[in-house]
């Protein structure tokens, strides 16, 4: 409900419960405030935002004064101005007056207000509270002499990041910001998200990397999208002399609402790394692995010759390509177009196969679309129950975890289901720890309880769901006691979970690799979709199914048809009408009719001698794919391997030809994030020497093949996508200048879709699927008694091509490690930090062991990032029969002391 507010004698509309400051800022009325941050709870510490409210005896702080009735506010009376000036003067008298050398100058709120209120010198002289600099290595300078005690850093650390690394210490005059026993941030559980720097109004908290690089007015500032995970945070890049100085979060209109994580904030040093590839490289000596620099002309001619040769000799299907979830939509579109139109094969795939292929496969069958059904903001604002299953979100998508944290503080119930006691379990209403690979059993049990206790949504099922009766009959034989035995979760506990999920107003299920990277990956997702369909928890804001995507543009790479069975926009390759449409548009003589091969199938086909030539754009299968020795042997068998990358990756070392490409800070295009939001990427710096954006490389290559790819800029490709992909039809380059849009967006007037499946599923009716429980492929036995599970850590990204070249990140987690339960360590007489050998049926690695409470007993957790102790030497390459995803999450190993 809105009420009238008079601010400085002008009338404004306000909502009940809004604060005076919120209304004022909305209407651009300047009220100074140092401790106020719109995304945080009101605090009222700095007192600078005081205003007069008629009827109140004393001035009130406008940041915390909620409007409940019609009021009259005066913000600039002489008395108020005098008081503010006094307050500022007090702050300044405890502040080193060193603005002339301060890094923050030009961006400092205290400086700004001192200027506005005309304070040349503080009016008070006396003792200052001199606090020395504290340890924030490797990223943060904590120069607390400049601190004004606004408490924003403490609040952001608690409310948003949840790290609680800092707090107020001591009292009175001597108060200061402390970590536990004044230790370093690193030892106090700091995540180094850098959000404390983002909110610090003065120069007390700063980036180490930006020190002495210049001040705000010297930088060129470009808005773009973070190159790391699938959240797609909006960032502002400060550039000086063609190098990135620092990165800040974009507060308004971005997915991240002003927050970042450690990689997004600090992980950009790799862009200027001397290791970047700068010129095309040709392998000179296959045995010694030496390369020589060649020109682009020579490189492209070589590809044309070798690919044509292979195609002539063995047919088009002897060639295959791996696209990249790190490249833009336009580049992935061109990559699949290159293979489909020019090479005439559908052997294109990318790493989505290794992450969310089951989600796409299952959801397109049951609902008709494989993407996340809701927006990230809905999790924060609308969901009342959040089921987090198989997703260590605080490590993999920190910004999403901030949103979940906010939802929980709003009162939403968080249910965490994970064999590892992850960070988010700490704030969960219920945390349950099922046995590895028992997800189908657990989820079926929840469905059974929902049926048994009549928690189903009858109306929803009648209108929007098919095969309910068949499913119900099939469920009759399901035994909850057996589920209890297999999952290790009591029926009582499962009942609590089912009840909260089914009866909450809006429930959302969030999952990631813990669900998909199993040989039952597709079944797991079927079982999740069953839960949503039975209870009708889908198709409303805040209710739905949310597979969190891993890489910045993995959603986009799928959308753009870098898949063996789909043209762009999930249009089936095997459908002759669709083929005809693309054939005509591309002016192609003919297109391959059969589905192509998936990632892991491509490597087994190489083993069988069917595939002879491979083009890899920005992927590193020699670390990321399961059973590495198998992949390595395959790659050696190839007649011709082209790798296009920004660094000489482990895979590139085996290439015959390496093409240097531009990273995402060096090109334009669009990325599609996990919630289907298409966002514009802008060029911030120039690529090193001869490195080129991937789309330019592909365009030039197509021209050499004699095809008329006449794209003058990247936006010509976007316009082609608009014409061919119905879900992207309205997402034109012109609109992207001003706003980000969520697909489906059918035409230029459509404003995008934040919630999918309102009222109707693309598949017509939602389908319930009967899924039988199957055991994982390899279970522990006497010889290999431990379970190995792989995953990611916060400060590393995939195969470390980027993060290993960021010094600070390397300091935090540069060394490979594994986690084991402390009881297992005791039993095996191992110490925290001692080296062990982990052996599976496929290989062995040596690695340091860390003590952990989060990992259950008889389990080893190894992050897959590290090439020097690659977890994927141990994993097996048996696949989910539908989605062809390998089972990264479970294999049997044994541990040997070293």
Binding status of residue 180 toward other proteins by CB under 8 A: yes
Query: Nearer Cβ to other proteins, position 190 or 515?
Result: 190
What angle do helix axes 439-452 and 521-535 make, rounded to 10 degrees? 20
Q: What is the SS3 assignment for 190?
A: coil
Please say whether the beta carbons of 621 and 325 come within 8 A.
no
Beta partners for 671? 679
Asked if the bond preceding 138 is cis, omega within 30° of 0, the reply is yes
Q: What is the Cα–Cα distance from 248 to 254, expressed in whole angstroms?
A: 12
Minimum gap (Å) between residue 330 Cβ and other proteins:
45
Q: Which of 611, 572, 609 is nearest to 591 (CA)?
A: 572
Query: Nearer Cβ to other proteins, position 180 or 315?
Result: 180
Minimum gap (Å) between residue 412 Cβ and other proteins:
16
Minimum gap (Å) between residue 428 Cβ and other proteins:
8
- Torsion angle of C-alpha atoms 196, 202, 207, 209, degrees rounded to 10: 170
Minimum gap (Å) between residue 439 Cβ and other proteins:
19
Binding status of residue 181 toward other proteins by CB under 8 A: yes
From the centroid of its chain, how far is CA 865? Answer: 16
Binding status of residue 164 toward other proteins by CB under 8 A: yes
From the centroid of its chain, how far is CA 384? Answer: 23
* C-alpha Rg value of the chain to the nearest Å: 29
Query: Nearer Cβ to other proteins, position 116 or 182?
Result: 182
Binding status of residue 165 toward other proteins by CB under 8 A: yes
Task: Kindly tell me which residue out of 178, 404, 506, 681 binds other proteins, with binding defined by CB under 8 A.
Answer: 178
Residues 6+ apart with CB under 8 A from 851: 819, 820, 822, 825, 832
Query: Nearer Cβ to other proteins, position 159 or 421?
Result: 421
Minimum gap (Å) between residue 91 Cβ and other proteins:
22
> Token pair for residue 366?
């049951």
Query: Nearer Cβ to other proteins, position 236 or 854?
Result: 854
Q: Which of 575, 609, 581, 574 is nearest to 595 (CA)?
A: 574
Q: Which of 43, 813, 787 is nearest to 420 (CA)?
A: 787
The helix or strand, by DSSP H or E, that contains position 306, with its residue range, turns out to be helix 296-314
Q: Which of 243, 249, 207 is nearest to 224 (CA)?
A: 249
Q: Of 175-183, 208-216, 385-393, 514-522, which part binds other proteins (CB under 8 A)?
A: 175-183
Binding status of residue 210 toward other proteins by CB under 8 A: no
Binding status of residue 172 toward other proteins by CB under 8 A: yes
232-251 residues in contact with other proteins (CB under 8 A) are none
Residues 6+ apart with CB under 8 A from 349: 320, 322, 323, 562, 563, 564, 596, 597, 598, 599, 602
Q: Of 174-182, 228-236, 527-535, 636-644, which part binds other proteins (CB under 8 A)?
A: 174-182
Minimum gap (Å) between residue 823 Cβ and other proteins:
11
Binding status of residue 217 toward other proteins by CB under 8 A: no
Query: Nearer Cβ to other proteins, position 56 or 182?
Result: 182
Q: Of 34-42, 74-82, 162-170, 779-787, which part binds other proteins (CB under 8 A)?
A: 162-170
Minimum gap (Å) between residue 181 Cβ and other proteins:
6
Binding status of residue 488 toward other proteins by CB under 8 A: no
Phi, psi (5° rounding) for residue 140?
Answer: -115, 135
> Token pair for residue 850?
């860390």
Task: Kindly tell me which residue out of 107, 167, 377, 466 binds other proteins, with binding defined by CB under 8 A.
Answer: 167
Minimum gap (Å) between residue 417 Cβ and other proteins:
12
DSSP 874-886: TS---B-TTT--B
Binding status of residue 565 toward other proteins by CB under 8 A: no
Phi, psi (5° rounding) for residue 12?
Answer: -135, 160
Q: Which of 872, 775, 772 is nearest to 443 (CA)?
A: 772
Q: Of 97-105, 158-166, 785-793, 840-848, which part binds other proteins (CB under 8 A)?
A: 158-166
Query: Nearer Cβ to other proteins, position 811 or 823?
Result: 823
Binding status of residue 810 toward other proteins by CB under 8 A: no
- Over the window 182 to 201, marking each residue x when it contacts other proteins by CB under 8 A and - when it does not, the resulting string is x-----xx------------
Q: Dihedral sign for Cα 366, 537, 548, 488, please.
A: negative
Binding status of residue 131 toward other proteins by CB under 8 A: no
Binding status of residue 169 toward other proteins by CB under 8 A: yes
Q: What is the Cα–Cα distance from 198 to 156, expressed in whole angstroms?
A: 10
Binding status of residue 173 toward other proteins by CB under 8 A: no
Q: Which of 332, 237, 261 is nearest to 671 (CA)?
A: 332
Minimum gap (Å) between residue 187 Cβ and other proteins:
9
Q: Which of 709, 733, 703 is nearest to 721 (CA)?
A: 733
Minimum gap (Å) between residue 620 Cβ and other proteins:
37
Minimum gap (Å) between residue 162 Cβ and other proteins:
10
Minimum gap (Å) between residue 42 Cβ and other proteins:
21
Query: Nearer Cβ to other proteins, position 40 or 83?
Result: 40
Give the Cβ contact number of residue 28 at 10 Å.
6
Q: Of 56-64, 138-146, 173-181, 735-743, which part binds other proteins (CB under 8 A)?
A: 173-181
Residues 6+ apart with CB under 8 A from 115: none
Phi, psi (5° rounding) for residue 320?
Answer: -150, 160
Task: Kindly tell me which residue out of 124, 170, 585, 775 binds other proteins, with binding defined by CB under 8 A.
Answer: 170
DSSP 310-329: HHHHH-GGGEEEE--TTS-H
Q: What is the Cα–Cα distance from 504 to 493, expressed in whole angstroms?
A: 17
- Over the window 412 to 441, marking each residue x when it contacts other proteins by CB under 8 A and - when it does not, the resulting string is ---------x---xx--xxx----------
Query: Nearer Cβ to other proteins, position 67 or 177?
Result: 177
Q: Of 172-180, 445-453, 669-677, 807-815, which part binds other proteins (CB under 8 A)?
A: 172-180
- Over the window 25 to 64, marking each residue x when it contacts other proteins by CB under 8 A and - when it does not, the resulting string is ----------------------------------------
Please list the alpha-helical segments (H only) found in 157-245: 195-199
Task: Kindly tell me which residue out of 33, 160, 161, 166 binds other proteins, with binding defined by CB under 8 A.
Answer: 166
Q: Which of 804, 786, 898 is nearest to 848 (CA)?
A: 898
How many residues touch other proteins under the rule CB under 8 A: the total is 23
Query: Nearer Cβ to other proteins, position 226 or 425?
Result: 425
Write out the residues near other proteins by the rule CB under 8 A.
163-172, 178-182, 188-189, 421, 425-426, 429-431
């Amino acid at each position: 409900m809105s009420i009238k507010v008079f601010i400085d004698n002008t009338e404004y509309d306000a909502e009940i419960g809004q604060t005076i400051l919120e209304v004022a800022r909305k209407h651009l009325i300047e009220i100074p405030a140092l401790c106020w941050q719109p995304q945080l709870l009101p605090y009222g510490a700095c007192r600078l935002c005081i205003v007069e409210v008629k009827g109140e005896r004393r001035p009130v702080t406008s940041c915390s004064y909620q409007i409940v009735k019609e009021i009259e506010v005066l913000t600039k009376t002489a008395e108020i101005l005098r008081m503010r000036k006094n307050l500022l003067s007090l702050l300044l008298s405890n502040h080193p007056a060193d603005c002339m050398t301060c890094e923050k100058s030009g961006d400092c709120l205290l400086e700004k207000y001192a200027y506005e209120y005309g304070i040349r010198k503080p009016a008070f002289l006396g003792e200052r509270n001199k606090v020395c600099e504290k340890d924030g290595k490797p990223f943060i300078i904590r120069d607390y002499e400049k601190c004004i005690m606004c408490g924003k850093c403490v609040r952001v650390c608690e409310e948003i990041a949840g790290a609680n690394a800092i707090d107020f210490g001591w009292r009175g005059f001597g108060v200061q910001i402390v970590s536990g026993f004044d230790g370093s941030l690193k030892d106090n559980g700091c995540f180094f998200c850098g959000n404390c720097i983002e909110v610090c109004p003065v120069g007390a908290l700063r980036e180490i990397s930006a020190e002495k690089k210049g001040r705000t007015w010297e930088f060129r500032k470009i808005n773009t999208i973070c190159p790391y995970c699938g959240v797609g945070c909006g960032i502002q890049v400060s550039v000086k002399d063609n190098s990135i100085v620092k990165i800040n979060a974009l507060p308004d209109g971005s997915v991240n609402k002003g927050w970042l994580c450690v990689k997004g904030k600090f992980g950009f040093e790799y862009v200027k790394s001397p290791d970047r590839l700068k010129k095309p490289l040709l392998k000179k000596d296959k045995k010694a692995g030496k390369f020589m620099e060649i020109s682009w002309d020579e490189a492209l001619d070589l590809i044309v010759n070798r690919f044509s040769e292979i195609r002539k000799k063995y047919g088009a299907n002897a060639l295959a390509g791996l696209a990249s979830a790190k490249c833009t939509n336009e580049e992935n579109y061109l990559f699949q177009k290159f293979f489909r139109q020019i090479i005439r094969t559908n052997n294109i795939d990318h790493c989505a196969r290794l992450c969310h292929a089951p989600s796409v496969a299952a959801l397109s069958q049951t609902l008709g679309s494989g993407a996340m059904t809701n927006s990230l903001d809905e999790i924060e604002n609308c969901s009342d129950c959040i089921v987090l299953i198989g997703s260590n979100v605080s490590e993999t998508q920190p910004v999403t975890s901030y949103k979940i944290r906010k939802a929980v503080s709003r009162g939403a119930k968080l249910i965490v289901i994970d064999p590892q006691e992850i960070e988010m379990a700490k704030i969960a209403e219920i945390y349950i720890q099922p046995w590895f690979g028992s997800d189908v059993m657990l989820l079926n049990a929840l469905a059974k309880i929902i049926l048994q206790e009549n928690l189903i949504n009858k109306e929803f099922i009648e209108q929007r769901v098919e095969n309910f009766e068949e499913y119900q009959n099939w469920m009759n034989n399901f035994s909850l006691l057996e589920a209890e035995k297999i999952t290790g979760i009591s029926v009582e506990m499962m009942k609590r979970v089912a009840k909260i999920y089914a009866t909450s107003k809006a429930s959302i299920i969030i999952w990631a690799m813990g669900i998909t990277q199993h040989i039952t990956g597709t079944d797991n997702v079927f079982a999740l979709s069953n839960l949503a369909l039975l209870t009708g928890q889908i198709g409303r804001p805040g209710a739905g199914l949310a597979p969190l995507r891993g890489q910045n543009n993995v959603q986009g790479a799928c959308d753009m048809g870098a898949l063996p069975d789909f043209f762009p926009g999930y249009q089936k390759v095997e459908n002759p009408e669709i083929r005809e449409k693309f054939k005509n548009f591309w002016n192609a003589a003919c297109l391959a009719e059969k589905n192509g091969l998936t990632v892991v199938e491509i490597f087994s086909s190489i083993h069988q001698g069917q595939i002879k030539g491979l083009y890899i754009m920005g992927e590193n299968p020699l670390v990321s794919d399961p059973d590495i020795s198998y992949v390595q042997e395959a790659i050696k068998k190839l007649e011709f391997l082209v790798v296009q990358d920004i660094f000489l990756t482990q895979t590139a070392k085996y290439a015959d030809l390496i093409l240097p490409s531009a990273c995402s800070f060096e090109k334009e295009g669009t990325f599609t994030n996990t919630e289907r939001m298409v966002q514009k990427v802008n060029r911030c710096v120039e690529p090193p020497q001869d490195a080129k954006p991937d789309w330019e490389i592909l365009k030039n290559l197509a021209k050499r093949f004699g095809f008329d790819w006449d794209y003058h800029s990247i936006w010509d490709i976007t316009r082609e996508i608009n014409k061919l992909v119905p879900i992207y039809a309205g997402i034109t380059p012109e609109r992207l200048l001003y706003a980000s849009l969520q697909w489906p967006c059918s035409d230029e007037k459509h404003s995008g879709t934040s919630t999918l499946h309102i009222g109707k599923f693309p598949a017509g009716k939602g389908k319930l699927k009967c899924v039988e429980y199957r055991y994982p492929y390899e279970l522990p036995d006497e010889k290999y008694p431990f379970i190995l599970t792989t995953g990611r850590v916060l400060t590393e990204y995939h195969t470390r091509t980027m993060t290993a070249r960021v010094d600070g990140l390397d300091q935090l987690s540069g060394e490979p490690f594994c986690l084991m339960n402390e009881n297992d360590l005791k039993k095996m007489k191992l110490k925290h930090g001692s080296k062990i050998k982990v052996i599976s049926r496929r290989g062995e690695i040596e690695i340091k062991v860390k003590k952990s409470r989060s990992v259950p007993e008889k389990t080893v957790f190894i992050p897959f990032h590290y090439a020097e102790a690659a977890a994927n030497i141990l994993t097996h390459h048996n696949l989910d029969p539908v989605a062809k995803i390998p089972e990264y999450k479970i294999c049997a190993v044994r541990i040997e002391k070293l």
